[in-house]
Amino acid sequence: LLSELETKVTNSDDIHLEQLNQEIEVLKRVINDNKVELEQVIKKLSTTESKP
């Protein structure tokens, strides 16, 4: 699977490569945003559970 993707990337032109890079950056941003939000939820849950 990775070699197939690598072949597609090496055979694609710069425009496609740039588009892929932009999509990857968007995904990274979304993942980081979700990570921060999840950490906040976990903190709230842990404080809620620790209260009697």
Q: How many domains does the chain have?
A: 1
Is pLDDT above 70 for 52? no
Is pTM beyond 0.75 here? no
Q: What residue numbers bound the domain in which 25 lies?
A: 2-50
Q: What is the pLDDT of residue 51?
A: 66
CA distance linking residue 4 with residue 12, whole number of Å:
12
50 pLDDT more than 90: no
Tell which phi-psi region holds residue 48, choosing left (phi > 0), alpha (psi between -120 and 50) or beta: alpha
| Cα–Cα dist 19/37, whole Å | 27
